[in-house]
Structure 1
């Protein structure tokens, strides 16, 4: 999901700054008023649930976790744990999906399983009593753009029957995270027959899904339907040695406002029946031509080695834009863009960004393994369905016009690249987005901003009329991320889970991206890329933890000590970074008044005589060096620069420039609050610059990283003149009204 590009850049920058400084005391108040959690009834087999406060794992997974590294010698890309055969029919007038599914699940554990858990995500939208709406109410804000739910626009999912063979399966709603009893997003099924170790069982489930008006990720608007998290989906049974587990446990969290999803890899065979005239797009490959019956078309899609399935249907869609892409190690990929007529201008830029992303991610991480990629641009008034990712299928953003170097172009391409990137970090690298969202949202934010940086792509937020008069500032991708990151008073470690966060989900994106960007500056581009490629190699089609990423990055980059230091300070914890140049002074080292021994005799040079001697030496030197620059002379200069550290210890570089064109460079990486460096040189100091390569984007304030010995008003004059020009422009417009 794309967090920041859901607004215009102007609003994003302002909102990000406010969020960074005052995310609110809502969490403390909510926790103070929160009733004690209801106990989850014990499972029939005694298998526990993941803890409600589970977050970043510190212990690496076992080598054989989820069947071990997928080397390419296996018969399938993933260790397929689950299979879904679903038949679903959409009633677009009532926005209802009626479905039947055969869910086949394999017990990988060494113990019999009697109770299984399924996610019923659509129940997050059944009413204000869900965990989703409870957290939204406690935070005092809507989801992303704040679209609300009106009467008659709620959604839900109802299981109308569950059978194991011929036996009915009883089930109950549970709240594994201690949410309100009115949250129905997780259900426990108590099986009549235990699933033995290594065996499989099939659950036949009839269900009905009422889609909500789209306010967050999924739902309808008019004839447009984005159908996601729409079927009963089994939770993940984690085994000892997997993501820190020491015994079998079910990972089944409620649908929180700012959490996303986690599921086993498997196979999907899904038949979608919709009225004729509706354009359909979905996860996976279409199997032949749709079959027509009674004015309805049935589209059958199949996809293996994924962990979710989403689809769209709309009778207003324009003719899809379809192209192909090929790359080393990947199959030929059919890429299609589905879009409404009002956003025709967005289709080709989205296609180009998607194909460029295929090339970039395949080259820098690993080959794209699927044969399809579908990009959906939601229509006007359904933008909350945009900026969301599913396997082989994602939603982007739509713009009526997409001019070169415009804000719309930056947002469209940025969101498209970001959502494609999720196909790797959320899709192929299948991390747990409930407990460790940084492995998807944070790493993806970092990697797609690297792609924007490589493309030389910048945001130009000014409207056209200001650009025409020369007011056209441009912002690099990482500069935008930096503005949105809480640097001064960070409250939540990037490794914290998705819902227990004082400053919300935003820092998972931007602070993680900055931590990784600063690590790249420290160990080098090639090292960071080796580390990420090793991460992809080890953990594709498995479920890594933060500890697994740390180990792959340390081994792949060859920089274990640095990686472990950064993870301890900025991933598992959060620390303010704030270094600055506190003082700079440079004074001539002149002869000193007093007495001295000369030829065994003590003599005294008076102050007047000393001043005369200094003046003569200066005059003689000036005569001999008529073209010497200011700051040079016959006497040496002692320069002192004091640095202050008001945050975490990070490796710093200080460069001091002198009037004769020389410079001195020193390193500072010590756990101390200040340090003074000094030099005695033939020339006076001109300036001192800390972090000259701008390696530390986490630093609170980059404006105090440098000082000049003499006052320099050029910057203030420049900003003042620009401000005055802008004010004069506004006054001239007002005068013409």
Structure 2
């Protein structure tokens, strides 16, 4: 999801966290139409007492599960993928779905055959499904409860009005012809009125290593596009629309010590997590409607009685979404190829009003395919579909699914404007999710940093490598002759909440102080890893990320796995561990500053001294008289000497440093008027430090972090003091002001 979509939500802040309103214990409720005796007699908001305990006792992940420090076991998720393997992933689920979209009523009638394999060493008698669409059924869902009760904001704050809610209804659930009872449960202690997680108690248990097929009929009422899914007019973005199996994690996978179900509720800021598998989806729409979807279209669409069925198949992915609109213009298409990748068909879908957006989206997608393939690993699929949503459907923009993503539409794309940069960035960002969310498939519930944060960082690297600056100017500003640009990482710092961070970037997506804190996962992660790259070197960081990608593609890594790869690739565990301890596992600001710079002549001092075997007193007046004579003689002997470069007296220079945050190894450089300099490494836990030199020349400046290694430093403007103007300080002022302008412009553009 694009970071700028959070901007209006960042203004919302609350001292509460979800745990503050959680009830004790699990309080599931049975839905109307459930097939157990208890459930059929229960109302829609049944008491938790009516739901029996799980029949096999397999636990659910903690309601507050978050970052996993310890690396996963070498054989986790079936072990590293081997060249020549029959499949790219260890496929766990097989979905065969037949879906019919009514674009007038915005509904979907569907039948789903889902085959699930039990990877564990024990019998499984109950499984869990996500029903994400129920997050939009009303204000009682966990999604809307967090928005209402905690004051959290979400993206562009589109409200669901009367007649615009959405939901998913299970019509039938069977296993081998037998009815399956189901119960709504609340793994994160959310409100009983949330219906986004359901437990199925299986009539036939699934033995270790065995598989079972579930036949599910379901119905979707799509909402007015509100949060990654829904409709606006004839446009439909259909995401998180089918009953999706939760993940059964095994010992050694993401910190698990025993089999456990990872099945969190649909939170306001969380995204998704699922097993890899195969999708075979037939989408039926009225004739004249253009369809785009995850995966490869299988042959020509089949028409019957005014309806057309499009069949898409894709293996080794963990989600499926599609779009449909009768207003889409003729798609823009291109082919891409790269070493180790199959030939890739790239397709851009767009409405007529944003036809001028299609070519920039296509170019940015092709460029992204090249960059990510070269820097991480070969793109493994045969398709990429990019969608530009229509005007007034902004909430469908900036979202990712495997092989399929949505960009955004801009009316004005004048060269060099913020809009032109924004379209490039959102396209690169959403494509990049195809690697961090799609192929690496980290747990976006519990460790959003591994997707949103690392993708943001890699996007910034790509843009920086292009030599592309972040444009801050609107077309109107350009007409006035105002053209503002800044390095993209400098602008990123502004979204990093560097001053008083409330939560570590490795925390989960819902236990957070505010939407602002969740939004910081993007910028602060990118900034922290930009600093790490500066400290260990670009070559070492690039090598580390290739290790990470190659080892954990198609395997659901944890944060500890990324940390281990960085240590291995860089050979600098102390640097890597410091960044993780201060910024990922904790929330510490970095704020070192030059508190004081003094450089004055070292005058002789009054008092008594021994001279010719006797004590002689030197007065202040005698010293002044002698200095006047010495200066006159010096000036005569050195008529071309630069002021302060040297003189009859040496200069004592004293620099005082203060620390107002976490310790970080700092470099202090003091420059003198004679062209010399002194460099000191401040690398300890002290809250202050003082350094002095007596030299022939006067100091000109004292500067901390002259190479800009510490991108996390809260206030860069206090990193230096000068006794004479220098351009370095002016540059830092320019970056800070440019970043401030960018934030203001971005906020205004969302109104």
The verdict on how the C-alpha distance between 1:191 and 1:715 changes in structure 2, with shifts beyond 3 A counting, is closer
Say yes or no: does 1:506 pair with 2:519: yes
Once the two structures are TM-superposed, the CA of residue 33 in structure 1 deviates from its matched residue by 5.0
Which string of whole-angstrom CA distances, capped at 9 and with x for unpartnered residues, describes residues 430-454 of structure 1?
0000011111011111110111111
Question: What is residue 240 of structure 1 aligned with on the other side?
Answer: 251
Once the two structures are overlaid, the 10-residue window that deviates more, 398-407 or 344-353, is 398-407
CA distance in 1, matches of 2:97, 2:480: 58
Q: Which residue of the partner structure matches residue 273 of structure 1? A: 284
Q: Does 1:23 align with 2:1?
A: no
Does the 8 A contact of 1:37 with 1:179 survive in 2? no
Q: Matched residues in 2 for 1:642 and 1:662: separation?
A: 20
Q: Distance in 2 between matches of 1:622 and 1:585?
A: 24
Which of 613, 617, 620 pairs up with 1:604?
617
Pick closer, same or farther for the CA change 1:77–1:715 going to 2, 3 Å. closer
**Pairing of 1:478-517 with structure 2 (within 5 A):** 478-504=489-515, 505-517=518-530
Instruction: State the alpha-carbon separation in 2 of the partners of residues 415 and 139 from structure 1.
Output: 29
Compare 471-480 and 393-402 and name the one that shifted more: 471-480
Q: Which residue of 2 aligns with 1:387?
A: 398
Residue 183 of structure 2: SS of its match in structure 1?
A: strand
Note the C-alpha offset of 1:613.
1.8
* CA contact 1:89–1:97 (8 Å) conserved in 2: yes
Query: Are 1:586 and 2:599 counterparts?
Result: yes
Of 408, 416, 439, which aligns to 1:397? 408
Question: How far apart are residue 629 of structure 1 and its match?
Answer: 1.5
Aligned mates of 1:302, 1:630 — CA distance in 2: 77
The 8 Å contact of residues 83 and 103 in structure 1, kept in 2 or not, is answered as yes
Deviations for 1:175-194, whole angstroms, at most 9, x for unmatched residues? 11101111100100011100
Matched, 1:533 2:523: no
Distance 2:95 2:620 in 1: 96
* Residues 124-135 of structure 1 aligned to structure 2 (within 5 Å): 124-135=135-146
Give the aligned partner of residue 483 of structure 2: 472
- Of 106, 116, 120 in structure 1, the residue corresponding to residue 117 of structure 2 is 106
Asked whether the equivalents of residues 350 and 416 of structure 1 are also in contact (C-alpha less than 8 Å), the reply is: yes
Partner of 2:364: 353
Task: Provide the C-alpha distance between the structure 1 equivalents of 2:707 and 2:725, rounded to a whole number of angstroms.
Answer: 23
TM-score, L = length of structure 1: 0.93
| Separation in 2, partners of 1:230, 1:442 | 26
Is 1:564 aligned to residue 577 of structure 2?
Answer: yes
The whole-number CA distance in structure 1 between the counterparts of 2:470 and 2:341 is 32
Cα deviations by residue, 1:176-232 (Å, 9 ceiling, x for unpaired):
110111110010001110010111111011111111100110000011000000100
Tell me if the contact between 1:38 and 1:181 (Cα under 8 Å) persists in the aligned partners: no
Q: Distance in 2 between matches of 1:503 and 1:661?
A: 50
Deviation at 1:263, TM superposition (A): 0.3
1:179 corresponds in structure 2 to 190
Q: CA RMSD in A?
A: 2.0
SS of corresponding position for 1:634: coil
> What is the distance in 1 between the residues matched to 2:638 and 2:569?
56
Structure 2 match to 1:668: 682
For the residues of structure 2 that align with 1:93 and 1:641, how far apart are their CA atoms? Answer: 72
Distance 1:465 1:163, change over 3 A: closer
What SS does structure 2 have at the residue aligned with 1:250?
A: strand
Check whether the contact 2:496–2:521 (CA below 8 A) recurs between aligned residues: no
Mapping 1:64-463, distance limit 5 Å:
64-463=75-474
* In 2, Cα distance between equivalents of 1:298 and 1:100: 14
Is 1:630 aligned to 2:630, yes or no?
A: no
* SS class of match (2:384): strand
- Match for residue 535 of structure 2? 522
CA contact (8 A) 1:346 1:401 kept: no
Checking the alignment, whether the CA contact within 8 Å between 2:27 and 2:192 is kept in structure 1 is no
Q: For 1:255, what is the secondary structure of its paired residue? A: coil
Partner of 2:409: helix, strand, or coil? coil
Ranges in structure 2 where 5+ consecutive residues have no aligned partner = 29-51, 742-751
- Partners of 1:307 and 1:427 within 8 A in 2: yes
Tell me how many residue pairs correspond in the alignment. 709
Distance (Å, rounded) in 2 between the aligned partners of 1:272 and 1:430: 25
Q: Distance in 1 between matches of 2:471 and 2:200?
A: 53
Query: Cα offset for 1:715?
Result: 6.2
Q: Find the residue that maps to 2:423 and give its secondary structure.
A: helix
Greater Cα shift, 95-104 or 565-574: 565-574
Contact 1:659 1:684 in 2 (8 A): yes
- Secondary structure at the counterpart of residue 649 of structure 2: strand
Aligned 8 A contact 1:577 1:698 in 2 = yes
Residue 513 of structure 1, CA deviation: 1.2
- The structure 1 segments of at least 4 consecutive aligned residues displaced by more than 4 Å after TM superposition are 30-35, 710-716
- Aligned counterparts of 1:715 and 1:461: Cα–Cα separation in 2: 19
Assess if the C-alpha contact under 8 Å between 1:492 and 1:503 holds in 2. no
TM-score normalized by the length of structure 2? 0.92
Task: Indicate whether 1:679 and 2:712 are aligned.
Answer: no
- Determine the structure 2 residue equivalent to 1:730: none
CA deviations over 1:609-637 (Å, ceiling 9, x no partner): 32222112111111111122221312111
Alpha carbons of structure 1 residues 570 and 422: separation in structure 2 relative to 1, 3 Å: same
Instruction: Specify the alignment match of 1:734 in structure 2.
Output: none
Q: 1:455 offset after TM fit, Å?
A: 1.5
Which ranges in structure 1 are unaligned for 5 or more consecutive residues? 727-737
Instruction: Judge conservation of contact 2:296–2:312 (CA < 8 Å) in 1.
Output: yes
- Does the 8 Å contact 2:167/2:221 carry over to 1? yes
- What is the DSSP-based 3-state SS (H/G/I as helix, E as strand, rest coil) of the residue aligned with 1:642? strand
* CA–CA separation in structure 2 for the residues paired with 1:710 and 1:68: 60
1:573: which partner in 2? 586
SS in structure 2 opposite 1:635?
A: coil
